[in-house]
Amino acid sequence: MKETILAMEKYAIENNVPIIEKKSIAFIMKYIKEHEIKNILEIGSAIGYSAILMASSSQSAMVTTIERDENRYMECLKNVKKCGMEKKINVVYQDALELNLSEDLKYDLIFIDAAKGQYTKFFEKYKNFLNPNGTIITDNLKFHGYVGQSSKLDKGNLKSLVEKIEGYIEFLKNNPEFDTKFYDIGDGLSVSTWKEKN
Ligand code: SAH
Ligand code: MG
């Protein structure tokens, strides 16, 4: 598996695939172990790098991961096979905003790492598939240091994307249902858990 992971890191650099930073995935793997997380849903597989590492965190970790890009989906399947993880990782080729998961599937961890401009939509849709003790982790909340700097950016795609991530952070901070902790790890992570219900 180690060799496949290294080959994926190389492939990601050569093909501009934005895989998670090492410190961030280390944080998530530790979280999975410490919280005895079993069922994981990932939105945004890319080539399977984070899915494979999450699945390898513990014996009982199972991952369902969603990817809408055909090439990346194929690459992900290939890598899952190479690591012999077909039984632990289920790769779904679809747009996560169009997918209809069965209502009785519930996850202990949902990892949001797909289109950064749609984070709020992913969160609102997929919180319905989160266990009462479950956690939603989101990656790239710093977006290469641009987040918090949108007012200094010229009008355009980058500015509007950064504004959306800033909007997502506000959404999390003011969320009536979830408590969120923000971590300055890698490209920025958030960890959201249900507020206690009275
Ligand atoms: N989690 C991966 C990196 C994911 S990069 C890792 O760390 O190894 C983000 C991926 O999300 C891209 O491959 C992109 O094609 C995919 N994506 C973006 N929007 C999506 C959507 N709505 N549904 C499914 N996949 C999406
Ligand atoms: Mg990411």
Tokens representing residue 124 in the block:
């609102």
pLDDT of residue 14: 98
Which among 139, 136, 77, 66 is positioned nearest to 107, based on CA atoms? 136
Tokens representing residue 60 in the block:
């009982």
Considering every ligand atom shown, identify the ligand nearest to the alpha carbon of residue 22 and give its number. Answer: 1
Helices within the chain (DSSP H only): 2-14, 22-34, 49-55, 70-82, 119-126, 157-173
Tokens representing residue 20 in the block:
């998670």
Domain count, the chain: 1
How far, in Å, from the CA of 46 to the mean position of ligand 1?
5
Secondary structure percentages of the chain, helix, strand, coil, to 5: 40, 20, 35
How far, in Å, from the CA of 138 to the mean position of ligand 2?
8
User: How far apart (Å, rounded) are the C-alpha atoms in residues 71 and 80?
Assistant: 14
How far, in Å, from the CA of 197 to the mean position of ligand 1?
32
User: How far apart (Å, rounded) are the C-alpha atoms in residues 174 and 178?
Assistant: 9
Tokens representing residue 159 in the block:
């500015």
pLDDT of residue 122: 98
pLDDT of residue 113: 98
pTM score:
0.97
Ligand 1 atom index nearest CA of 97: 22
pLDDT of residue 34: 97
User: How far apart (Å, rounded) are the C-alpha atoms in residues 17 and 62?
Assistant: 23
Q: Quickly count: other Cβ atoms within 10 Å of residue 144's Cβ.
A: 11
Considering every ligand atom shown, identify the ligand nearest to the alpha carbon of residue 186 and give its number. Answer: 2
Ordered mean pLDDT values, 10 residues apiece, the chain (198 residues): 96 98 98 98 98 97 98 98 98 97 93 97 98 97 94 94 97 98 98 87
User: How far apart (Å, rounded) are the C-alpha atoms in residues 99 and 117?
Assistant: 18
pLDDT of residue 104: 87
Which among 136, 122, 129, 138 is positioned nearest to 193, based on CA atoms? 136
Domain hosting 87: range is 2-194
- C-alpha neighbours within 13 Å on the C-beta side of residue 32: 28
Q: What is the CATH classification number for the domain harbouring 163?
A: 3.40.50.150
Ligand 1 atom index nearest CA of 69: 15
Residue of the CA atom closest to atom 3 of ligand 1: 19
Contact partners, residue 115, CB within 8 Å, separation at least 6: 44
Contact residues of ligand 1, CB 6 A cut-off:
18-20, 44, 46, 49-50, 66-69, 72, 95-97, 113-115
How far, in Å, from the CA of 197 to the mean position of ligand 2?
31
Distances (CA, A) of 87 to 42, 43, 52, 64: 16, 19, 12, 11
Q: What is the CA radius of gyration of the chain?
A: 16
Ligand 1 atom index nearest CA of 42: 1
